Every structure is written in C-alpha cells, then in structure tokens.
Amino acid sequence: MILKVNNLRKEVTSGDSSLIILDDVSFSLEEGQSLAITGPSGSGKSTLLGLLAGLDSASSGTIFLDNILIHDQNEEERASIRKEKVGFVFQSFELLPSLTALENVMLPSELKSEADPKSNAEYFLERVGLKDRQHHYPNQLSGGEQQRVAIARAFACSSKILFADEPTGNLDSKNGKLISDLLFEVNSETDNALVVVTHDHDLAKKCDKTISLKLGKIVE
Amino acid sequence: MLLGLSIKLFIREIRSGYLTSMLVSLTLAITIVSGISLFTDRLEQALSTQTEEFLGGNLKFESNKNKLQPLLKDLDIKDSQFMEMALFASVIFSDKEMQLSSVKAVDNSYPLIGSLELENSEGVYLIKSSPKPGTVWMDERLQNLLKVNYGDEVYIGDTSFIFTDTINYEPDRASGNFSFAPKTIMNMSDLESTQIIQPGSRVEYNYLFTGPENEILYIRNFLKDIKESGDEIEMLDEDSSSLGRAVDRSENFFLLGGLIAVLLSACTISIASQRFTRRHISYVAILKTLGMKTLHIRALYFLIFFYTTILTLIFGLFFGWLLQNNFINIMSTYFPTELPSPGLYPLVVTCLTAFICQFGFIYPHILKLLSISPMRVLKDDIGLNQGSISVISAGLLAFFVLLYLYTNQITLSLIIFLGVIGFSFVGIGSIYLLLGSKSLGLGASSPFNLALSELRRRKLGNSFQIFAFTVAIGLSLITFSASKNLLGSWQNSIPEDSPNNFAINITKEDKGQMELFLKENNIKATTFFPVANASISKIEVDEEIQIDRNFNITWIYNLPEQNQVLEGEWFSDENENGISVSDEISERYNLSVGDLVYLKVEDRDIKTFVQSIRTINWDNFSPNFFVIGHPSLFKDIPSTFITSFYIPKEKQENAAELMREFRTISVFSIEELIKQVKEIIDQVTKALNSILLLTCLSAIFLALSALQDGFSVRRHQSAILRTLGASNSLIKNSALIEFALLGLISGILGALMSYSGVYFIETEVFQTTANFYPELFVLGPFIGLVVVSGLCFYLINGIVKKSPKELFT
C-alpha cells in the first residue's frame, strides 16, 4: 500500500476562533492506482493534498506514505521523503522563472545528486513533446507548455507517488485534455500512484478511485 | 472619496509593515538633517556673535593716523554706533618694576559689543564701560610682572594712574598689532596728558562700528574712499582665526556625516519605493478596470506619499530637535551660554530634503506604476520595467540636488556625483566579470554549488545588491574614518608640544642671549624669523599698483614647515631669487608667478618678482607669513625677530623669567587658544560619533531593504525547492554562502570606496595630506561578511521555519 490515511483532521486557529478544514478523513491507495479528490471550492481538497504530500502537518490522525508514518516526521525528514518518493504538479505550474525548461526538469535529479541529470531531463522533455523548447524560459512558453514542463519535472523525480493539484485548472479545455491524457499516459509507463485534486469530471473519471469532500469530510 | 480611500490605504500600508523601511529611512534622514542643520545654524549664529565680540564691532577701520575723527561728521548714520581707540606699546613703571605693555586707550563708548570681565579685591564682575579717567586696568600677567596690588600707582609716560582692576576677559581681542604684549586699558581722555604720542610715534588708531547691515555697508564704502596705504578695513565675514577655522571645519564634518546618512536613506527609500510599486501593480490595474481615471489614481498615490512625508517630517523634526540638544550638551563646555534660537534655514533644508526624496526617489516609481495596463487583471505576466531611464534620471537628479544642497559648491557636487557614478559603473562591471558566466542547472546538489549558481544566475540583481551593500559599507566607513582618522589627523596637527608661546620684538642683540636662555632651560624654539613691515606695489606696464595693506615680511632660505609651494619654485642658489606669497594674497591681490613688484621696507625700495605661491597651514601655531623674501634682497635691513616655543605647564615660571630678563621682548601665551581648539576637536569627535551611529543605522536599513527585496524571489524558489525535497540545511547554507560572498565582495569594494572618499576629503575638502588607513581594508570585508551574513541568516530563518505550503500562500 502506497498511501494510508486514518482519521485525519486539520484545524486552524485564528485568535479565539478555530476552523476545522478537514475532519475524520480516512482512505487508502495501492501502488500504481490513481485517486481523484473532488469537491466544491473550500471543501479542503488542496489542504488534504498538502498533508498527504507532507507539505504541511495535520492536527491529528495518521498518514502512512510507502509505509512511513509521515505525521511523526519533522520537516527535514519529510523533505527527504518528498525527494525520494513524491512528485508534484501544481495548478499554477510553479516553475522557477530564472531556469530554462531543461534546468527546471533537471532540478529533482540535481537534488538527488544523480550522475547525469541532463539526459534524464531531456528524456522526459522529449516525452512531453518539448525537446525543441528545452532552452526556453517559462515566460517564453504558453500555459499548456509550462504545465507539460511541470509534468516532465514531476516524472523526472523517479517518485513512487505523484500529486497533482488542479493540473488542468489554469488551462483551456483543449490544453486541459492534452495535459490529463499526458499525465495518465506517462504515469502508466512508470507504475506510479497518482493523486489528483480536480474539478474536472472527465479527469476524475480516468482515475481508479474517487473521493469527494464537502466541508472537510468525505461524502459518498 | 479620494481622501477617505487614501487615508484607509495609508493606514493599511503602515499596518502591513511594507512601508516600514521607507518610513524609518525617511524619518532617519529627516532626523539627521534637521539635527545637524539646527545645530550648525545655532552654532553659526553663536560664532557670529563671538566673532563680533572678537572684532569688537561689525566693522573695524585701522589706521596709523588719527584722521577719521574729523571726517566722521560727514557720515550720515542714524542707527549705528562707533567708538575710537588708540593702541600703542609703552613701558609702564610701578614702584618696584617696569615692563613693556600693550596699551589700549578707549573712549567712553567702549565696549561697543559684549562686556569685560574684571576682577578686583571684591571679586569678579562684568562691566560694559571704559576705565574712569585716572585709572587703568591691566591683565594678570602685567600685574604680576609689575608686582602691583589694587590701588597701587603705575606710571605711563608723564602721568600716574591708579591700578583698579585685573582684566580677565575683554571682548575686542582682535584689536591691534600690539595686543601680544601684556595689556593695559586706559581712558582716552588721559592720553594727551601722558605725552606719549609724539610725531613719529608708532600708534594704531582703531575705529569700530556696529549697526544695521545697510549702514555698515554704507560706512564701509565711505571708509574705502578715504582709505590710504597702510589703512585696513575689516568686516565680520573675514574671520580667519584658529577658532573660526576650527568651527568651520567641524561644520564640514557634520555636513559630511549628514550628507552620507541622507544618501544612504535615499537609496533605501528608492528600494522601498520599487517594492511598493511592485505590490501595487494589480491594485492599480483593478482600479483602472473599475473605471477610475489615471488622474484620480495619481492623486490617490500622491496623497499617500504626502501623508508619508508629513508623518516622517513630524517624527524626524522631533528626533532632530533631540539630536541637536544632544550635540549642544556634548559641546556645552564650548558654549557656556545659551545658544541663540534657530532661524528658518534648518526647517527649509529639512523640508527640501524630504520633498527631494519624495519627488526624486518615490514619485517616479509611482508615475511608472500609473502606466500599467488594465490588461494586467487578465494577464499576470504584464509587468513594469522599473529601471527605466526616467526613473534612473530622476533619482540621479535628486542625488545631485541633495549634494548641492549640502555642499553649496557646484564643482564639489559634480566631482562627488561623477565619482559615485563612475565608481558604480566600474563596480558593477567588475562584479559582472568576477561572477563569470552561468553553467547548466541550478547546482542544487550541494550548498556551495547552489550558492555559486545563484550568484551567477542573478548577476544583475546581485550587482545592484552588491552596489547597495557597497554604498552602505563604504559610506559608513567614511563616517567612521572621519570620526577617527580625519579628526585624529586634525588632532595630531596640534601635538602635545605645539608652541604655546610667541616671542616678538626680539632685537638682533637679544637674539643670541635668548637662544642661550632657551637652550639652558631646555626649551625648544622654532626658527627665529626676521620681521620687518613692508608695503608692496605691483608693477604693471605703465603703472604701479599699490597693494592696500602692509605686511609683516620675513626672509629665510628654507621653506617653513607645513608650507607647500603651489606654483613656481622655492629659492635656490642657481636662480635669481625673489619673493614667495601665500595663495590667499595671490588670489586677493591678483599676484602671479613672475609679476614684478616693489617692496618698500624701512624707506628702501626693493624691485623684485613673485617667485612662488605657497599654501600655509595656519593651524600649526608657528609664526606664518603671507610674504617671504630671499635673504639676499634684505641685506642690512633693520629688523626684529619672532619665534615660538613650547613651555610645559610646570615650567611656566620660565616665561616670566624670560620677560624679566629681556624687557623689550614681548612674550604672549596662546595656551588658551590651543586648549579651546583641542576641546572643539574632542567635542566634535563625540558629536560625530552620534552621527556615525545614525549613519550605521541608515546603512543597516539599506542593507536590510536590499536583502528583503531579493528575498521575495527567494521565498518562492525556496517553496519549490523544498516541495521537491530540498533540505532546510541546503537552502540555509547555500543562502549563507551566497550572501557571505556578496558581503565579502561588497566589503572589499566598500573599503576601496571609503579609501577613495577619505583620500578625496583629505586632499580636496580639508586640504591636508592623504594618509593610508589599512584598517579600512580589514573592517570593510569583515563588516560585509558579518553584517550581510547576519541579516541573511535572520531572513532565511524566517523562510525555512515555514512549511512549503505556507510559503506558497
């Protein structure tokens, strides 16, 4: 099992008042499976994704990622898990503007001190169809192209699980379809697990499992 | 609506903390400017009063003839007052002793300005009148030499007088060539009965005037018309006393410190404005989309920055007042009485500084902001080109105007301006070359590689950061050096054993004996300079132009210490030799090297030429001469000699012994003057330390603003890197290495900048010899390394403590 979540709760306090963002969330995901997290805005989807990926810590409950209890880990240990096991695709791409497409994709390999980050990055850029634009900076690429670079970067991590937060949210329907097809296509080649937060029903339908959130709770 | 919105926005900006660096920098600049200008304004007013007292009036006419009295009735003056005094040297007798004294016979209007401090058996008191007929006042030295008590009789010429009071302080100390000998003051009405003034006697008549400026100018013109050769007119603004120069120089130090702090603040304000503009791009785009006119948006932002200026002016002026109070407390021993109230000038300078900063460093960014397209609402990638020519030009223009405002000299402002621009170009160019070209990838495998890659990748941004750090370090080091080294070299120019006594009227016969006396008492004297009174006429093609003053001229073979030949050559055996004149005299009387002149000395005419022009260090407390001739020109000319020597406090009785042994020699002490100048230097040092503290604060704010500016980009990068699994230590260590290197480079450049600045100030502003200060090259890199790394540590800690998710929001 790549992901197991039990009774997850996230609560934020502001002054005297507190707000429950996630409450009693439990589910699991096997290796190679895909999961769609859907729900209306403000239902806690992105917060849940952040907790699953170890970007943030929960108020209570447990998360096992590849059998590691990440809830007990400190930020440094969580960073190490992210480096080894997790890949990311964001709604707003989150590419480094001072790096070219190739350099952005090389980044995960560089962080792992891999021997030849360049050829690995070139392979994935070719895979997403951007080999000829590898020396372009993000501001020289369209939104769809930037998201393809982000997908290439996510797969270049050689991760066990890939988290995608609204990967088609900032794109038109044509580019959105292209990106969702690409995401599943490349994922099937790598046998990664995939967790996607989305509003897009077509994208959600492609996933093996779907959970729906409403006011921080899973609804059937 | 605009008013309400602008106030709401202003309060929101203050609460958000984004305006903090701008508010603090502007307040700091205004504090420093108002503090310094308030203090120097009051200092100048006090000095002017002191100078008036020193001169004895607003205007003084000196003549060897008593000719003005009958002409005064032709003067149409209503609100001015005048007085007359006669000065001469005479031997005064008591029942036990006799002594040469400088005698001042004053009329009943004496003193025109200030009061005398006298002492008698009843104690010390202030008086604003002349001695009663039949009485005299004497200074303590003369009283001791004559061994007289209050009520004793003394004799001047044919008349006896009662000695009633000791003179502790007299206002018109600048009066007369005879004032160096121990002093006596008598009433003018007694002068005739003494029978001292005979045809051919050496007497100097002084006429002092005080009154409104227009009448003083009218009197001056009147006196110019009747002025003959040998007569002199002196005005208040011509004070060249050691104290005047000391105060002038201390004002230069203050203004230098102020200028530096203001420039640092200006840089911070500029960076803060850029950040403000960046944050408001979307806001302006939304306002435009909602249909707000550009004129209204402009008014909105103008109001916000108007509030900023008013708020900082209120706080700055308040703190400035406290600062100048601090300066006055520090220098209270120099100004025992209360200083005059400040004029309007400090307020004008302060407000001008605030508005120049606003219009030069803030407003151009706002204008740029107003040009943003409403399309920005739809397309995030529409941004602003913040470094446009108009913004840079406005900043540079404001920088130049500030320089001119503080230096009041167009050439000096231009030199500093072009120097800073040139240095920046060279500096930024060298940084570009030094960092080299970037390699592929971010180098995220190790902290060092990541740091190096970041340095190369952000070359332009880093260059400007280095520039800001360099300016902060360089200018702080200049202020530090000014308070330590420049003041130190000024202090060293008055060493402990500076001559504190002058001896004049030394005859040829007494010279050998006196040298022996000094040798026996282990007193080291400077050269014995021969002195004679001379008048000079410049020979033009077909006329002789008489220079309207007399000079005490000397003749020696060697160039005196601390004199420097500017033009021409000093005397040598190979050439025909003439005279050497000081640069001031050359300028005032239009004398150039090679000009033919007639010297009239003791009824002899000597035809010669100007061989060289010299600068003189007037602060060396040795005899200095405007005109020096080659000895071959003055053979057989009768002269007396002048010298100076140092007598330690414990050997003061040697001075009295010397005067007793050589009755015709006048010895006068300048111990008090040296003490006063040294006190001023000490006090200036303390006051400058307060400015140094504020300058360092401004520098730290500049460095922090420059860093914060760069850290907003770093925050985003850090969020991505940490999401991808980068450890905190990688991010922290790479940032520390990167900024340590930036700090080190800035420190080295800052040291170079401060060294060039100090060199320029020493040679051009204070006209002293430039020194090498190795500590600048140690302190610069050290401060750069520690301060920049320290600030980076503080900022990066704020980033790594947050979770990646928090950083994305």
Q: What is the pLDDT of residue B358?
A: 86
Question: Residue B803, Cβ neighbours under 10 Å: how many?
Answer: 17
Q: What is the pLDDT of residue A5?
A: 93
Question: Do the Cβ atoms of B441 and A94 come within 8 Å?
Answer: no
Query: How does the average pLDDT of chain B come out, rounded?
Result: 81
Instruction: List, for residues B664-693, the tens digit of each pLDDT value.
Output: 777 776 776 666 666 666 766 666 777 777
Q: What is the pLDDT of residue B491?
A: 64
Mean pLDDT of B4-25: 82
Question: Do the Cβ atoms of B727 and A76 come within 8 Å?
Answer: yes
Is the per-residue pLDDT at B343 higher than 90?
Answer: no
**CA-based nearest distance B17→chain A, Å:** 20
Residue B310, chain A, CB below 8 Å: the answer is no
Question: Do the Cβ atoms of A75 and B803 come within 8 Å?
Answer: yes
Q: ipTM score here?
A: 0.84
Q: Best mutation site among A66, A98, A113, A135 for testing chain B: the one with the most B CBs within 10 Å? A: A98
DSSP string, A37-56: EE-STTSSHHHHHHHHTTSS
Residues in chain A: 220
Nearest residue of chain B to residue A106 (CA atoms): B441
Q: What is the pLDDT of residue A211?
A: 92
Q: Which residues of B touch A50 (CB under 8 A)?
A: 805
Is the per-residue pLDDT at B187 higher than 90?
Answer: yes
Residue B721, chain A, CB below 8 Å: the answer is yes
**CA-based nearest distance A72→chain B, Å:** 15
Mean pLDDT of B454-480: 81
A196 forms bridges with which residues in the sheet? A36, A164
Mean pLDDT of A89-109: 87
Question: Do the Cβ atoms of B441 and A117 come within 8 Å?
Answer: yes
Q: What is the pLDDT of residue B47?
A: 64
Place of tokens 């995608």: A164
Mean pLDDT of A15-25: 86
- Phi and psi torsions of A18, nearest 5°: -130, 155
Instruction: List, for residues A129-151, the tens digit of each pLDDT value.
Output: 888 999 999 888 888 888 889 98
Q: Retrieve residue B776's tokens.
A: 């600048």
Mean pLDDT of B58-84: 79
Q: Which residues of A touch B381 (CB under 8 A)?
A: 139
Place of tokens 């021993």: B333
More confident residue, B452 or B74: B452
Residues in chain B: 809
**CA-based nearest distance A139→chain B, Å:** 8
Q: What is the pLDDT of residue B164?
A: 94
Q: Which residues of A touch B443 (CB under 8 A)?
A: 110
Q: Could you list the residue range(s) of the whole structural domain that residue A193 is in?
A: 3-219
- pLDDT band per the 50, 70, 90 thresholds, residue B780: very high
> What percent of chain B has pLDDT above 90?
9
Instruction: List, for residues B113-125, the tens digit of each pLDDT value.
Output: 878 889 998 888 9
Q: What is the pLDDT of residue B180?
A: 53
If we measure between CA atoms, which residue out of B464, B598, B491, B470 comes closest to residue B544?
A: B598
More confident residue, B231 or A196: A196
Q: Retrieve residue B161's tokens.
A: 């007088």
Helix, strand, coil tally for chain B in percent (to 5): 55, 20, 25
Q: Best mutation site among A70, A92, A110 for testing chain B: the one with the most B CBs within 10 Å? A: A110
The b-or-e profile of B6-32 (16+ CB within 10 A means b, else e) is beebbeebeeeebbebbbbbbbbbbbb
Number of H helices, E strands in chain A: 7, 10
**CA-based nearest distance A119→chain B, Å:** 12
* Helix/strand/coil for B474: helix
Question: Do the Cβ atoms of B442 and A99 come within 8 Å?
Answer: yes
If we measure between CA atoms, which residue out of B503, B497, B628 comes closest to residue B558?
A: B628
Place of tokens 């009843």: B122
> Residue B193 to residues B65, B70, B183: CA-CA distances in angstroms?
19, 21, 20
Q: What is the pLDDT of residue A220?
A: 64
Q: 0.90 cut: is pTM over it?
A: no
Q: Which residues of B touch A96 (CB under 8 A)?
A: 442, 717, 720
Nearest residue of chain B to residue A108 (CA atoms): B724
CA distance A173 to A180: 10
Q: For chain B, give every domain's residue range.
A: 1-55+243-408, 83-205, 501-672
Question: Do the Cβ atoms of A82 and B719 come within 8 Å?
Answer: no
Question: Do the Cβ atoms of B457 and A110 come within 8 Å?
Answer: no
Facing residue for B444 by CB, picked from A53, A80, A107: A107
Residue B81, chain A, CB below 8 Å: the answer is no
Q: Which residues of B touch A95 (CB under 8 A)?
A: 720
Is the per-residue pLDDT at B30 higher than 70?
Answer: yes
Q: Best mutation site among A99, A104, A111, A137 for testing chain B: the one with the most B CBs within 10 Å? A: A111
Q: Which residues of A touch B805 (CB under 8 A)?
A: 50, 55-56
Is the per-residue pLDDT at B238 higher than 60?
Answer: no
Place of tokens 């997403």: A128
Q: What is the pLDDT of residue B605?
A: 84
- pLDDT band per the 50, 70, 90 thresholds, residue B178: very low
Cα dihedral: A92, A95, A96, A102 (round 10): -160
- pLDDT band per the 50, 70, 90 thresholds, residue B249: low
Question: Please, are residues A34 and A204 in contact by the beta-carbon 8 Å criterion?
Answer: no
Residue A81, chain B, CB below 8 Å: the answer is yes
Those residues with Cβ within 8 angstroms of residue A52's Cβ, 6 or more apart along the chain or in another chain: A3, A5, A63, A65, A163, A195
Question: Do the Cβ atoms of A82 and B724 come within 8 Å?
Answer: yes
CA distance B564 to B582: 10
- pLDDT band per the 50, 70, 90 thresholds, residue B781: very high
Mean pLDDT of B693-707: 79
**CA-based nearest distance B432→chain A, Å:** 17
Mean pLDDT of B262-277: 83
Pair type for strands A86-89 and A161-165? parallel
Question: Please, are residues B502 and B667 in contact by the beta-carbon 8 Å criterion?
Answer: yes
* Helix/strand/coil for B194: helix
Among the ranges given (A39-43, A82-86, B699-703), the one the predictor scored with the smallest mean pLDDT: B699-703
Q: Which residue type, as a one-letter code, is found at position B2?
A: L
**CA-based nearest distance A107→chain B, Å:** 7
Q: What is the pLDDT of residue B177?
A: 46
Question: Do the Cβ atoms of A98 and B457 come within 8 Å?
Answer: yes
Most confident of B409-423, B610-624, B637-651, B723-737: B723-737
More confident residue, B498 or A69: A69
Count the domains in chain A.
1
Among the ranges given (B48-57, B364-373, B464-473), the one the predictor scored with the smallest mean pLDDT: B48-57
Question: Do the Cβ atoms of A107 and B381 come within 8 Å?
Answer: no
* Helix/strand/coil for B199: coil
Residue B385, chain A, CB below 8 Å: the answer is no
> Residue B329 to residues B27, B147, B695: CA-CA distances in angstroms?
23, 41, 20
Residue B603, chain A, CB below 8 Å: the answer is no
Query: How does the average pLDDT of chain A come out, rounded?
Result: 86
**CA-based nearest distance B420→chain A, Å:** 30
Question: B600: which DSSP letter?
Answer: E
If we measure between CA atoms, which residue out of B372, B392, B182 comes closest to residue B289?
A: B372
Question: Do the Cβ atoms of B445 and A110 come within 8 Å?
Answer: yes
Q: Which residue type, as a one-letter code, is found at position A63?
A: I
Burial of A143 (0-12, 13-18, 19+ CB in 10 A): middle
Question: Please, are residues B619 and B493 in contact by the beta-carbon 8 Å criterion?
Answer: yes
Q: What is the pLDDT of residue B333?
A: 60
Q: Which residues of B touch A105 (CB under 8 A)?
A: none
Residue B45, chain A, CB below 8 Å: the answer is no
Residue B461, chain A, CB below 8 Å: the answer is no
Facing residue for A103 by CB, picked from B441, B717, B726: B441
Q: Best mutation site among A10, A52, A55 for testing chain B: the one with the most B CBs within 10 Å? A: A55
Question: Do the Cβ atoms of B723 and A82 come within 8 Å?
Answer: yes
Facing residue for B725 by CB, picked from A82, A94, A103: A82
**CA-based nearest distance B461→chain A, Å:** 12
Interface of A with B in 7-66 (CB under 8 A): 50, 53, 55-57
Instruction: List, for residues B376-422, the tens digit of each pLDDT value.
Output: 655 555 566 656 788 888 888 998 998 888 777 788 788 878 877 88
Residue B511, chain A, CB below 8 Å: the answer is no
Question: Please, are residues B69 and B84 in contact by the beta-carbon 8 Å criterion?
Answer: yes
Q: What is the pLDDT of residue B247?
A: 63
Is the per-residue pLDDT at B16 higher than 70?
Answer: yes
Residue B723, chain A, CB below 8 Å: the answer is yes
Nearest residue of chain A to residue B800 (CA atoms): A75
CA distance B242 to B233: 20
Pair type for strands B123-127 and B116-120? antiparallel
Nearest residue of chain A to residue B461 (CA atoms): A98
* Helix/strand/coil for B530: strand
Mean pLDDT of B290-310: 86
Nearest residue of chain B to residue A97 (CA atoms): B717
Mean pLDDT of B209-217: 84
Cα dihedral: B280, B285, B290, B293 (round 10): 90
Q: Retrieve residue B492's tokens.
A: 């060293």
> Residue B284 to residues B302, B307, B375: CA-CA distances in angstroms?
13, 19, 11
CA distance B177 to B477: 45
Question: Please, are residues A30 and A160 in contact by the beta-carbon 8 Å criterion?
Answer: no
> Residue B51 to residues B55, B170, B178, B347: CA-CA distances in angstroms?
6, 13, 20, 25
Question: Do the Cβ atoms of B803 and A56 come within 8 Å?
Answer: yes
Residue A195, chain B, CB below 8 Å: the answer is no
Question: Do the Cβ atoms of B726 and A98 come within 8 Å?
Answer: no
Residue A110's domain is classified under what CATH number? 3.40.50.300
Q: What is the pLDDT of residue B136?
A: 94
Size of interface A-B (CB pairs under 8 A): 85
CA B219 to chain centre: 32
Mean pLDDT of B483-495: 66
